[in-house]
Structure 1
């Protein structure tokens, strides 16, 4: 009889855990001033319910409400109001990068998981405090990059780890567009994206972080030995306080990486070139990969499939991590993004001083 009761209790526990995994995550949205917020508000197959939105600018909230169809009844002025009224399990940040730290300070002690839009913070000092809070309170603190979900990057990494092009010797990452003012895709983002405090810089923070994230991932979280950079402001009438053009060189013991970040390019661009000891891979977009494995070999084009669910959507992925049905992706992890912040800090210091910065 005891054995039967034990089996029944075990089955109930399994069913309860399964039910918990299938229950939509109660997700809070912090801020509406980042252009990427449309991705979460317009998600048609979401494994979450939007428990509430924090946005003190009511006019902005009303415009976004009309555009995306959410009720103004779930809009709150403060994080405290959201938490008291809705008790979200997780929050996604779409505010200025400088305020990511405030979100972690508030929600980490309450055991609420957090995803921020790239980069993690405006500097390493902020990032380290945020990481310490996440570790202390046992929450996930993830950073979302568009390029994490590219099938082409995932396929390239698999080929590199299989030794198809040999050890990495050089990588070039080009990320940029015509500029946030010129694009005017989300007017509420423009004031803070070109603010040296709220964004931590200009193009290097907006776009240099992509290549730093990808190279750190491909190098298995090994830091570069040194960082040297050159910044320019080509359009001072638009970007008077920050750089709109940045080139950063990372040096490793047997490899070099170039990050090219720009608000001056004629088209939107996120491309990668990875050169190994025996061949190279070029990634012109998220669906295409070109590989050449030797001097006498031909270039092969590969069109990799999309990453499997939930790794094909940042918010489905975040919810799966919260539910425990998916592991943290290395590109989103704190281990990676703390190094990214060190690289960005060193790049800004090098541009300021004209010196090569050596990482500890």
Structure 2
């Protein structure tokens, strides 16, 4: 009797399991169809790694910098950086390291022989609000594009020598109220756009020596009303016009040594009433117009050495009554008369006066 009861109970449990399993399976299928599922596995949160410190000197970086002060607990004011990589695009993560030193006042970037830089890193410079002095050298930067320096308002000095620059575009230098000096020497500049240099009220020195300039646009310097020194030595400039020098009423030094000038016409320099030094040596000047130097009442030094002058017009020096240093060496002068030097006679007897006539 008991045995029969246990058998019946076991059979009932077996039937219940068989019936229940399909029901649970059907409920799971319904849940899937309704979009119900097991709790989702959340993606692992990615925590960004901290920025590389610009001043760490990490040899794994594409540019290595030495900073001053050299203290990891103090923001640097000066950084000298060297680029060792040929692959350093504008958006390279290495540039982000500059965000760790946002108070830099002086920055020098030197491209090593094994490295390359083909652009001005404008995105980086834009973040350096306190930058006053910038030097980039030995890059291969064919163009200076508009607003290349991000309207940095604290800039005082920009040096970009030996970067193979060919074209300086409109507004390449613009809106830098305290910028005092631009050095672009030893590049390959063919053209300086007439609006390349605008809104630079404090600019005093502009160096374009050793480039490939063959002509200058009229009014190209008209916004540089505070310019004191303009260097154009060793270019290929063959023609000068009065309009080129408009706006340069405060210029004191003009260097045009080693260009391709053959003739200086009337009143070319008449806009330069503050000029004290004019270098025209090592050109191919064959003729000076009688009024070539009119308006240069404050000129102290005139260098015409190593040209092709055969004669001097009567009264040629009437426009430069203050000259104390006159160099006519290495020309082809056939005759020189007393009348040529009469306007300068009072100056030339001064003990500090110098006349070169070899």
Q: Same fold (TM over 0.5)?
A: no
Greater relative contact order: 1 or 2 (C-alpha under 8 angstroms, separation 6 or more)? 1
Q: TM-score, normalised by structure 2?
A: 0.28
Q: Whose strand proportion is higher, 1 or 2?
A: 1
TM-score, with length taken from structure 1: 0.28
Based on CA coordinates, which of the two structures has the bigger radius of gyration?
Answer: 2
